[in-house]
């Protein structure tokens, strides 16, 4: 147990280092974006004097290294600074949207993870049967279509034709929980369809892989039922790859939902980052990117720790 | 009118396509606004406005970087919301006539240099403060000054002095005479806000004296306004409250309209408009305003220095074909000047330039520029369909012996790096409500956005003369002459004007006349429309 704790701390330290490097890359990347924030804000109506006034106002006339150091100091203190475009506190701007993004990701995960694990186990159990094939074809087709297409189809069926669910998921902080759940159903379903295939097929493959092992052979000779073999003997050893794939998909649910947010008009972080890139609102882009990077780091860390916890052999690498 | 009724009947019976209807209606000399009204179901228009209800408007505009400061209003979403929260000194009504709002009357003296405005008394701001001339002065000053980022800087910078004569009289002295000042004061930037003791306004607070007060502002997501019961003219509006919801994706916007989740959707997609029109619960409101697409040529750069080259390029556009292809007919053709149907002094007698490859060849020969090669910069950032328009123009110009090379520019930074910089490109203008404004924004020699670098002495003289001319007929003549000069000598090709296309559900009632100066009924839909159920 102590070694797991040590390992966790070690990984956390590495994570912070990764985040630091990421922050540098983000800053450099944003610096390389063409165009100018003040030009972008004022669009066609920008004139030389108004642009100069705007640049001075926003501190854009300072050098890049100075701005980077200021920014990093701010982040350490938990202060992301102010949005250049509308002068609001970024932490305030992001917090609501981050909650929305997490809410949608959690709802999608709550549907997608158990569903794909169950389907994966069932597919392994009834390998090569009609059931297995149907599930495979269905999940592979849904992952093959672009997200916006899946979203439009769902809107057409459930919103325009049947009228069961709204096509606009315009939630706000004061939306009651169940109404919120109702409003995010279609985007969550879209995301479920998009991420399900990956998790389901990994579960199936990991279990089938183990089914050839000698200890499963032994269990078969003991006369155990197939279901019991899979659930009690194969699955515990299959967790490591499954957990990793689940973590990867959860990260995707948080950082990769821009298109779904646009189609369903869901006020999440993705929409904010797109708007901010278009408007050269650099502090907001940087803050969002750091949050996305942190999400990846934390989820991967969790996956690592979980897979080690389920497979003690990994604690003693040789 | 019987002929029109016949047309209308045929349209309804499906014997006449919408487009044919518009063409035929135009033959009867109908004004621009009339077809839009006729296309709507008369039952909506005839019904008495109903009080109460909540209107949800889905707009394609709006961004997380929007701010409540009227100086920063840059899109239709904020501008429309601004017109609900704020009142202005003057307003333009649905028929395009200037009317009073916070200023009851005004008069000019000294060659339109000195203006005296009598302000309405008993006007209350949303914070309870009473409006006086001091608030008006502070509100206008908000846009002035060297560091101003306001889009209305040009208007207020022309003011030499403002004096309050008591609480309800405001005297504005201009640097030069301007007969259009009352018109310009209706500009959506120039909202009247309460001043503090120091004579400053808190522009980001969203407090005004408009018909509605701001309830919630979530930039790029939703803006909610609710009726302000103490408004001086509260009875004039019908709705209790309204939402402006940003729905950037046009498919999402159309879906939300067909499922009734929103009541109004602006900027409909011309490509799917016919399908939408089949939906019985939706009706489309189409207005022809001043918004147009332009192709500026830098007159300080070869080969565009030569007017014959410019004329050749102007004759090389097949305008009706471009209208049909790029806008599917939802607009009208331009005549190389920016004055549109929502302007007062549009010269209808100016001959329309037609597609004429022979004339183009003639002018090329005259310029000694046969076999002309030009680069045309384009991107869909200029307007949706600008790349298609460029390809189309290349084909059309080829018939006149002009080789147009299309340069696709990145959408990012188009306005900063391409427009005003590249010698020949595509551009979009929302149009300006007055001629003077349109000309002095982009065609006057010293205009900051003179995207053609065109300098015409006669034109600039007329501009100054017309600005301070108070005699309507003389002004009209001057503006007509300026349109002719632009048409003949100007540096920009204006092939088409685009219509505003708005979809509303059957639960929305609209007045008989829909304004065409801006999108969404002059950006006053919330103030003029009502819910029928």
Per residue in B372-398, pLDDT (tens digit) is 999 999 988 888 889 999 999 999 999
Q: Cα separation of A147 and A144, whole Å?
A: 9
- Which helix (H) or strand (E) covers residue B159, if one does? strand B159-164
CB A101 within 8 A of CB A268: yes
Task: Count CA within 13 A, CB hemisphere, residue B233.
Answer: 16
Q: Which of B63, B261, B449 sits opposite A166 (nearest CB)?
A: B261
Helices (H), B259-306: 273-278
Residue of B nearest to A82 (CA): B65
Q: Would you call B221 and A172 a contact, using CB atoms and an 8 Å cutoff?
A: yes
Q: Give the gap in angstroms from C-alpha B349 to the nearest C-alpha of chain A.
A: 32
> Coil, strand, or helix at residue B418?
coil
Asked if A41's CB is within 8 angstroms of B249's CB, the reply is: no
- Which member of A35, A152, A262 has the closest CB to residue B413? A35
Measured between CA atoms, the residue of chain B closest to residue A267 is B221
Partnered with residue B170 across adjacent β-strands are B117, B164
pLDDT, residue A82, reads 78
Residues of chain B with pLDDT under 70: 1-47, 412
Of B149, B415, B419, the CB nearest to A50: B149
Interface contact flag, A42 B220, Cβ < 8 Å: no
Residues of B in contact with A150 (CB under 8 A): none
CB contact under 8 A, B416 and A271: no
* Cα separations in angstroms, B484 against B346, B352, B353, B390: 11, 10, 11, 26
Say which of B65, B147, B256 has its CB closest to residue A279: B65
Helices (H) and strands (E) in chain B, counts: 20, 19
Handedness of CA A35, A41, A42, A46 (dihedral sign): negative
Cβ–Cβ below 8 Å for B245 and A265: yes
| Cross-strand bridge partners of residue A147 | none
Instruction: Give the pLDDT score at A45.
Output: 60
Displacement of CA B490 from its chain's centroid (Å): 21
Q: Tell me if B147 and A272 make a contact (CB, 8 A cut-off).
A: no
Q: Give the closest of B222, B245, B415 to A43, CB-based.
A: B415
CB pairs under 8 A between A and B: 126
Q: Evaluate whether B374 touches B424 at the Cβ level (below 8 Å).
A: yes
Residue with tokens 């929103």: B262
- Mark residue B407 as left, alpha or beta (left: phi above 0; alpha: psi -120 to 50; beta: remaining): beta
Distance from CA of A54 to the nearest CA of B (A): 7
DSSP result, B334-361: --SSS--TTSS---TTSPPP---HHHHH
End-to-end CA distance of chain B: 31
3-state secondary structure at position A200? helix
Instruction: Identify the pLDDT of residue B430.
Output: 83
What DSSP assignment string belongs to A35-95?
A: S-HHHHHHGGG--HHHHHHHHHHTTTTS-HHHHHHHHHHHHHTT---B-TTT--BHHHHHH
CB contact A57 to B (< 8 Å)? yes
pLDDT beyond 50 at A293: yes
Q: Which residues of A touch B220 (CB under 8 A)?
A: 267, 271-272, 275
Distance CA B286, CA B374 (A): 36
Q: Identify the CATH class of A90-315.
A: mainly alpha
Taking the Cβ of residue A285 and every Cβ of chain B, the question of whether any pair is shorter than 8 Å is answered with no
CA atoms within 13 A on the CB side of B529: 30
- Dihedral sign from CA coordinates of A250, A254, A255, A259: positive
Closest CA to B359 of B402, B322, B324: B402
* Model pLDDT for residues A41-51, shown as the tens digit of each residue: 666 566 777 77
Q: What local confidence, expressed as pLDDT, does residue B263 receive?
A: 95
pLDDT score at B233: 92
Contact B415 A57 (CB under 8 A): no
pTM above the 0.90 mark? no
> Does residue A267 belong to the interface with chain B, where contact is any CB pair within 8 Å?
yes
Asked whether the predicted pLDDT for residue A64 surpasses 90, the reply is: no
Q: In A203-301, at which residue ranges do the beta strands (DSSP E only) sit?
A: none
CA distance A234 to chain B (A): 45
Name the range with the highest mean pLDDT among A2-16, A54-68, B479-493. Answer: B479-493
CA distance B127 to chain A (A): 22
Chain B: which residues have CB within 8 Å of chain A? 63-67, 72, 74, 146-149, 151, 153, 204, 216, 218-222, 245-249, 251-252, 255-256, 258-259, 261-262, 410, 412-413, 415-417, 419, 427-428, 448-449
Can you state the angle between helices B307-315 and B472-489, rounded to 10 degrees? 90
C-alpha distance from A113 to closest chain B C-alpha (Å)? 28
> How near does any CA of chain A get to the CA of B143, in Å?
11
* Average pLDDT over all residues of chain A: 83
Site from B224, B255, B430 to mutate, A interface, most A CB atoms within 10 angstroms: B255
Which residues from chain A sit within 8 angstroms of residue B216, using beta carbons?
Answer: 172
Picking from A100, A168, A258 by the largest number of B CB atoms within 10 A of its own CB, the best residue to mutate is A168
- Residue B503 is predicted with a pLDDT of 94
Q: Of A41, A159, A264, which is closest to B259 when you measure between CB atoms?
A: A159
CB atoms within 10 A of CB B493: 24
CB contact under 8 A, B251 and A87: no
Alpha-carbon radius of gyration of chain A? 24
- With an 8 Å Cβ cutoff, are B147 and A45 in contact? no
Q: Which DSSP state fits B208?
A: -
Please state the φ and ψ torsions of residue A81, each to the nearest 5 degrees: 90, -165
Residue ranges of the domains in chain A?
38-77, 90-315
Cβ distance B415 to A54 less than 8 Å, yes or no, reads no
DSSP H stretches of helix in B347-425:
357-367, 386-398, 414-417
Share of chain B above pLDDT 90, in %: 61
Alpha-carbon span A154 to A157, nearest angstrom: 5
Q: ipTM > 0.85? A: no
């Amino acid at each position: 147990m102590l070694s797991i704790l040590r390992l966790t701390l070690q990984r956390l330290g590495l994570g912070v280092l990764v985040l630091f490097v990421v922050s540098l890359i983000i800053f450099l990347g944003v610096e390389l974006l063409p165009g100018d924030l003040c030009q972008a804000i004022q669009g066609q109506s920008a004139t030389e004097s108004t642009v100069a006034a705007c640049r001075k106002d926003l501190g854009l006339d300072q050098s890049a290294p100075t701005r980077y150091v200021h920014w990093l100091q701010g982040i350490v203190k938990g202060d992301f600074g102010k949005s250049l475009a509308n002068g609001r506190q970024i932490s305030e701007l992001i917090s609501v949207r981050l909650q929305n993004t997490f809410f949608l990701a959690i709802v999608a995960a709550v549907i997608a993870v158990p569903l794909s694990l169950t389907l994966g186990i069932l597919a392994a159990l009834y390998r090569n049967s009609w059931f297995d094939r149907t599930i495979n074809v269905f999940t592979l087709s849904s992952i093959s279509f672009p997200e916006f297409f899946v979203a439009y189809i769902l809107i057409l069926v459930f919103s325009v034709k049947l009228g069961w669910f709204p096509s606009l998921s315009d939630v706000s902080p004061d939306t009651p929980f169940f109404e919120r759940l109702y409003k995010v159903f279609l985007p969550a379903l879209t995301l479920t369809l998009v991420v399900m295939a990956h998790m389901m097929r990994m579960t199936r493959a990991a279990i089938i892989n183990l089914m050839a092992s000698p200890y499963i052979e032994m269990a078969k000779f003991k006369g155990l039922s197939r279901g019991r073999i899979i659930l009690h003997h194969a699955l515990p050893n299959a967790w490591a790859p499954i957990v990793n794939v689940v973590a990867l998909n959860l990260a995707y649910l948080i950082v990769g939902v821009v298109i779904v947010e646009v189609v369903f008009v869901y006020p999440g972080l993705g929409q904010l980052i797109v708007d901010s890139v278009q408007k050269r609102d650099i502090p907001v882009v940087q803050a969002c990117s750091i949050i996305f990077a942190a999400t990846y780091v934390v989820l991967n860390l969790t996956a690592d720790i979980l897979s080690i916890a389920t497979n003690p052999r990994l604690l003693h690498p040789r | 009118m019987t002929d029109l009724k016949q047309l209308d009947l045929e349209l309804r019976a499906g014997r006449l396509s919408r487009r044919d209807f518009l063409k035929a209606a135009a033959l009867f000399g109908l004004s621009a606004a009339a077809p839009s009204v006729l296309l709507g179901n008369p039952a909506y228009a005839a019904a008495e406005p109903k009080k109460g209800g909540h209107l949800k408007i889905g707009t394609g505009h709006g961004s997380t970087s929007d701010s409540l400061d009227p100086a920063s209003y840059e899109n239709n979403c904020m501008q429309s919301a601004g017109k609900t929260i704020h009142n202005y000194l003057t307003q333009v009504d649905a028929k395009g006539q200037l009317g009073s709002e916070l200023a009851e009357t005004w008069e000019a003296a000294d060659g339109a240099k000195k203006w005296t405005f009598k302000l309405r008394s008993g006007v209350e701001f949303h914070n309870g403060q009473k409006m006086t001339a001091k608030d008006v002065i502070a509100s206008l000053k908000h846009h002035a000054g060297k560091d101003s980022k306001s889009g209305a800087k040009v208007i207020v910078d022309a003011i030499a002095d403002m004096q309050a004569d008591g609480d309800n009289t405001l005297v504005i002295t201009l640097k030069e005479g301007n007969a259009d000042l009352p018109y310009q004061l209706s500009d959506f930037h120039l909202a009247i806000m309460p001043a503090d003791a120091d004579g400053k306004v808190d522009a980001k607070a969203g407090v005004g004296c408009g018909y509605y007060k701001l309830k919630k502002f979530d930039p790029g997501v939703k803006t909610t306004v609710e009726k302000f019961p103490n408004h001086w003219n509260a009875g004039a509006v019908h709705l209790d409250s309204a939402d402006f919801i940003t729905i950037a994706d046009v498919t999402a916007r159309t879906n939300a309209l067909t499922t009734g989740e929103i009541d109004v959707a602006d900027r409909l997609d011309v490509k799917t408009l016919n399908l939408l029109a089949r939906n019985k619960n939706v009706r489309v409101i189409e207005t022809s305003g001043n918004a147009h697409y332009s192709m500026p040529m830098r007159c300080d750069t070869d080969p565009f220095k030569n007017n014959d080259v410019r004329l050749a390029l102007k004759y090389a556009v097949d305008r009706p074909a471009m209208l049909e292809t790029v806008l599917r007919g939802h607009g009208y053709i331009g005549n190389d000047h920016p004055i549109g149907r929502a302007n007062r002094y549009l010269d209808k007698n100016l001959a329309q330039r037609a597609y004429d490859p022979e004339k183009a060849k003639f002018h090329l020969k005259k310029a000694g520029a046969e076999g002309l090669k030009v680069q045309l910069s384009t991107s869909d950032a200029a307007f949706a369909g600008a790349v298609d328009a460029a390809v189309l123009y290349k084909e059309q110009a080829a018939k006149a012996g002009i080789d147009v090379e299309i340069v696709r520019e990145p959408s990012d930074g188009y306005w900063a790096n391409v427009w005003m910089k590249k010698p020949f490109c595509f551009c979009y203008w929302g149009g300006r409500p007055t001629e003077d404004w349109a000309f002095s924004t982009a065609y006057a020699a010293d205009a900051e956005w003179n995207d053609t670098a065109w300098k015409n002495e006669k034109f600039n003289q007329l501009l100054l003369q017309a600005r301070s001319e108070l005699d309507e007929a003389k002004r009209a003549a001057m503006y007509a002459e300026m349109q002719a000069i632009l048409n003949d000598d100007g540096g920009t090709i204006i092939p088409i004007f685009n219509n505003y296309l708005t979809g509303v559900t059957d639960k929305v009632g609209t007045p008989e006349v829909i304004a065409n100066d801006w999108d969404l009924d002059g950006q006053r839909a919330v103030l003029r429309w009502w819910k029928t159920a």
